[in-house]
Amino acid sequence: MARSPAPSGKGEPGNAGCRLGDFTSQADAYARSRPDYPERLIDILIECVGVKSGDKVVDIGAGTGIFTRQLAARGFTVTAIEPGEAMRSKAPPMSGVVWQDGTFEETGMPSESQAWATAAQAFHWADPARALPEIRRILKPGGYFSILWNNRTEDPAGVLKWTREAIERLIGRFDDEHHDNRDWPAILRSTGDLTDVRFHDAPHAAAIPAERYMDIWRSHNRLNVVAGPERFGRFMAELGKYLRGRGIKTVTVPYITRAWTARRR
């Protein structure tokens, strides 16, 4: 197995053209760095919604297909909807998956066609007032919609703590997991299109090469936008120097994955 190169610690520019919600300039880093979702939680969600192999599932805001691939591996017939052409282009070939341009608010899917709709690391970009009626429209009667996020959890010492402190020192206080602070049950019920909201979570950890850890931050859209190119470049340079200076080749990133599932009314 090839070893990933240690980070050089050289300065690098921020994404000067990065706009909030637009991952065009970050698609490469996103595809390289973002973790899978815990299989145990996927098992729980599948049991909760009652879908089986062969059922039609739509993954909205699919990005580079991380969760899409895990759905396809379960034998579902998957439509992956992603508005960013750069993100779609980084998705690997997947059997049983059709990709199409679209959004939460305008999926382009036939009415009452899907047994399950999912949104992994994506629904915080949606406009619920428009998205939830659209999701209800494309779900079959009795169908379900699940939203989920991988949230990093702080380690009391080590790389993640240093990273958090560096962000606050160089960029300012930053709400990294902003989507975790919202009342998702209330939001999912807000338009009257969905009901019976259920919550599930599961911890997991990813041991990743140091360069991939840097890619996680390169792919962080909101941090790029908040920081701007100069401050973001300075942060990345210091992160590389820190990892290289301590000979850190692997970083274990702890996550807790949180999921909310609601039924079509």
Does residue 260 or residue 3 have the better pLDDT?
Answer: 260
Tell me the pLDDT tens digit for each residue of 33-53: 778 999 999 999 999 999 999
Work out the pLDDT band at 139, boundaries 50, 70, 90: very high
pLDDT (average), residues 230-252: 95
Neighbours of 53 (CB within 10 A): 10
Residues 262/145, Cβ–Cβ less than 8 Å: yes
Residue 22 has pLDDT above 70, yes or no: no
Residue 5 has pLDDT above 70, yes or no: no
Q: Is 76 exposed, middle or buried (0-12, 13-18, 19+ CB in 10 A)?
A: buried
Residues, the chain: 265
For 167, the enclosing helix (H) or strand (E) is helix 159-170
Q: What angle do CA 259, 83, 235 make, to 5 degrees?
A: 75
Work out the pLDDT band at 177, boundaries 50, 70, 90: low
Query: Which residue type occupies 40?
Result: R
Query: For residues 65 and 55, what is the distance between their CA atoms, to the nearest angstrom?
Result: 18
Q: Which of 29, 149, 131, 27 is nearest to 88 (CA)?
A: 27
| DSSP state at residue 49 | H
Residue 13 has pLDDT above 60, yes or no: no
Q: What angle do CA 53, 54, 55 make, to 5 degrees?
A: 95
Q: Phi and psi (nearest 5°) for 35?
A: -80, 160
Neighbours of 46 (CB within 10 A): 19
Residue 249 has pLDDT above 50, yes or no: yes
pLDDT (average), residues 16-32: 67
The pTM (predicted TM-score) of the whole model is 0.84
Q: Phi and psi (nearest 5°) for 233?
A: -60, -40
Show the domains of the chain with their CATH numbers.
24-264 (3.40.50.150)
Looking at 9-23, 112-126, 179-193, 218-232, which range is the least confident one? 9-23
**pLDDT averaged over the chain?**
88
